[in-house]
Chain A
Amino acid sequence: MAAPTAAARGARAPARPAGRRPAGHRPAGHRRHRLDRTLSPYLYLSPFFLVFGVFGLFPMLYTGYVSFTGWRADRPGSAGDWVGFENYRKLLDDPFFWNAVKNTLGIGVLATVPQLLLALGLAHLLNYRMRGRTLLRLGVLLPNVTSVAAVTLIFVQLFGRDFGLVNWFLSLFGVDHVDWQAGTLSSWTAIAAIVTWRWTGYNALLYLAAMQTVPFELYEAAALDGASRWRQFRSITIPMLRPTILFTVIVSTIGALQLFGEPMLFSQQQDPTTGGSQHQFQTLALYSYNQFWGRFKYGYGAAISWAMFLLIVLVAAVNFLAARRMRGVE
């Protein structure tokens, strides 16, 4: 980290105004060296900003522009029609949009909460000394490296209505066949299960890394005081992990709000972007895609994308503030 020296330099700089420095005093080689030192960090960083500019910033700004137009494919020549906030106004009383908001938040909660709790428990177990620890630790990441498409296709089979494994298992306990696609809560549960399966291990590794930084003496002292494992977990691990938990909560929330592949592939309708026969699991990302590429309403689809972006910023901010408040209470 170069921060401390830089800060020190920055603090000293105003004491010696640049203009007063006698020119041509230093040898040329030194100047080249200085030029190199100034410029090279920018050059090292430039690939990221170039890629981000081309594939991140530009599309985002252009989408923003498109969202203010009435552009749609079935009206030739409508590309430049400036409609101002009309698309956003239309969003406010679009029942499909609010349905998508509800679905996104619902699936998000169903997927994120169990996922993080499971990850925490899993990380705690992985933190024990045991044989083949490294292998097990790597193993929990495996679900994450498999492709969404492959995972979802398998889960679709598992959650099949007539010949699915989950229904067969439930039938052992006398539960009737569940049509997972049909119901709102059942479809949310199935999709949340896919998300949880994929991301639990990933979060567990983050927690594990954080757990490794907790000073061992704390546990030793607690053990001497007669604290149980559970007590140690609650009173030492969790408080020490708080910043990491905050981080994972925000990252998973953002991920959940952008949920796209899982509901798209889970859908068995002819048009998978509708998210079920009555839009039971049409998320915001799916609805945006549905309007943009399914209905070719470019302006409106872009407006949904931007509304989604604003919603993510809002939810992340609320999350962040709530988490800070919690720490304040402590």
Chain B
Amino acid sequence: MPVSLPRTGPRGRLLATSALLVLALTAVTSCSSSGGSSSADEDPNAKITLTVNLFSDFGYADLYKEYEQAHPNITIKENRADMGAHHQNLHAHLLAGSGTADIEAIEIGQVAGFQPEAGKFVNFLDNGVSKDQWVPSKTAPASSPDGKVLFGLGTDMGGMALCYRSDLFKAAGLPTDREQVAALMKDWPSYLAAGKQFLSASPNKDVRWFDSGGNLFTSILAQAPQGVYDADGKVVVTSNPAVKQSFDLVAGAIKDGESAGIQAFTPAWDTGFQKSQFATVACPAWMSYEFKANPPADGGKWDIARIPGGGGNWGGSYLSVPKSGKHTKAAAELAKWLTAPAQEARLFKEKGYFPSDQELWTQPDIAEHTDPLFNDAPTGKIFSQSARDLSPQPLGAHGAEIGTAIGNALTSIEQGKADPDGAWKQALKDVDNIVN
């Protein structure tokens, strides 16, 4: 091998050089290991910036302004990432012990995955928070298994409802009054039967009954006493009959052509709202944002009714304060304030995010709230009813991924890539790959 470096010096010099390199290397790496500063003995009036990492719009902009006015030394900076990426980053940063924001949001489907790491978060029970602010079904998943650590403060929750296009219903000869709609679709089979009726009678043949099979599956399974996990934390996709029953119900509806087959939360889905590609959407409270952002281009009107089958929860989030953050004390205070009943009530009235704080559900200004977006529907009554009817499901570490895998299987039926049998088998393989 031709050596292109002058070979003049003795060997020792080369060693010295490499030693120098190693020294420099350790200097570089040791720089990066400065952990979170101890915020306990921090000057409470020092100027600080609190970072808040979210995965969608939580509607906090006005609240930040108010908080900054009351605390002139605090500036709040919010970052948003895609939901999947957000949680992956949080896991990665907890693992690394640095890089987390002062406040990190966690979605309910993901929260069980953070339970083993409860010790890496600030325990709100040591910071003057009472669990009684929320129903046990909200606090339990964000607590350590022994219940001694509460690492997430409940923000909103997804009391469920059914959103429907009253103009399209009218054209197809279905009832448009929300009480009559709810009476017609007491449960999911009658909802799907109404869908068939809609498809045959609707003058516009491009409109489907619902947006995507995955979404419908989520809503149906959310009402079962048990989802994909049992109370012992075991995956029960095959042994819990409710999973396969929900799957079959949706698969059948897809075969009947009721699904528009549009993946939720994608640009195509937004287009679907605008171009009236579907007549109903199962909508938890937090979804009203989508209806506001994407009004139908043909001037159609959305209305809202009780969800077939009663209660059920879909989604909702928590705010957490990782111990590796820079200003844990101040961050905990901000998180407490953002999730306090007064702020939660405001978020519902102004943005439509239904509060998880249980005493709000009976407060007149919440329970009697109406939303002009949905033809002045009594959303407060609908969502608080749904929240009270809710029987909490056991959650598990991979609940969100398993749900997505089954949703993918339903998508493959919509795409004509698989029949219901093949799709179910594929889903089971995917679940196995997730769990084992």
The reply to whether B2 and A272 form a contact with Cβ atoms under 8 Å apart is no
Q: Which of B8, B91, B117, B418 has the most CB of A within 10 A?
A: B8
The reply to whether A39 and B408 form a contact with Cβ atoms under 8 Å apart is no
Q: Given A179-B415, A278-B418: A270 and B264 within 8 A (CB)?
A: yes
Q: Given A162-B277, A274-B404, A294-B88: A74 and B24 within 8 A (CB)?
A: no
Shortest beta-carbon distance from B269 to chain A in Å: 9
The reply to whether A271 and B3 form a contact with Cβ atoms under 8 Å apart is no
The reply to whether B84 and A271 form a contact with Cβ atoms under 8 Å apart is yes
Q: Any chain A CB within 8 A of the CB of B35?
A: no
The reply to whether B21 and A278 form a contact with Cβ atoms under 8 Å apart is no
Q: Chain A residues near B5 (CB, 8 Å)?
A: 6, 41
Residues of B within 8 Å of A, CB-based: how many?
55
Q: Chain A residues near B434 (CB, 8 Å)?
A: 295
Q: Chain B residues near A313 (CB, 8 Å)?
A: none
Interface residues of A in 122-177 (CB under 8 A from B): 156-157, 160-163
Q: Any chain B CB within 8 A of the CB of A9?
A: yes
The reply to whether A163 and B271 form a contact with Cβ atoms under 8 Å apart is yes
The reply to whether B21 and A7 form a contact with Cβ atoms under 8 Å apart is no
The reply to whether A38 and B13 form a contact with Cβ atoms under 8 Å apart is yes
Q: Which of A46-54, A106-114, A224-232, A235-243 contacts B (4 or more CB under 8 A)?
A: A46-54
Q: Which of A182, A270, A280 has the most CB of B within 10 A?
A: A270
Q: Chain B residues near A269 (CB, 8 Å)?
A: 263, 404, 407-408, 411
The reply to whether B17 and A274 form a contact with Cβ atoms under 8 Å apart is no
The distance in angstroms between the C-alpha atoms of A3 and B7, with both chains bound, is: 12
The distance in angstroms between the C-alpha atoms of A183 and B322, with both chains bound, is: 43
Q: Given A46-B24, A181-B415, A296-B113: A268 and B263 within 8 A (CB)?
A: yes
Interface string of B19-59 (1 = CB under 8 A from A): 01100110011000000000000000000000000000000
Q: Any chain B CB within 8 A of the CB of A98?
A: no
Q: Given A2-B4, A3-B4: A73 and B415 within 8 A (CB)?
A: no
Residue of A271, A278, A294 touching B412 (CB-CB under 8 A) = A278
The distance in angstroms between the C-alpha atoms of A294 and B408, with both chains bound, is: 15
Q: Chain A residues near B3 (CB, 8 Å)?
A: 6-7, 10
Q: Any chain A CB within 8 A of the CB of B416?
A: yes
Identity of the chain A residue whose Cβ is nearest the Cβ of B264 in the assembled complex: A270
Q: Any chain B CB within 8 A of the CB of A293?
A: yes
Q: Any chain A CB within 8 A of the CB of B131?
A: no
Q: Chain A residues near B2 (CB, 8 Å)?
A: 3, 6-7, 10
Q: Chain B residues near A271 (CB, 8 Å)?
A: 84, 401, 404, 408
Interface string of B162-203 (1 = CB under 8 A from A): 000000000000000000000000000000000000000000
Interface string of A263-275 (1 = CB under 8 A from B): 0000011111110
Q: Chain A residues near B305 (CB, 8 Å)?
A: none
Q: Given A46-B21, A271-B401, A295-B434: A54 and B9 within 8 A (CB)?
A: no
A9-B7, A295-B433 given; 18 more Cβ-contact pairs under 8 Å: A6-B3, A6-B6, A6-B7, A13-B7, A37-B6, A46-B21, A49-B21, A73-B113, A156-B267, A162-B268, A162-B275, A269-B408, A269-B411, A270-B84, A270-B407, A274-B405, A277-B409, A295-B398
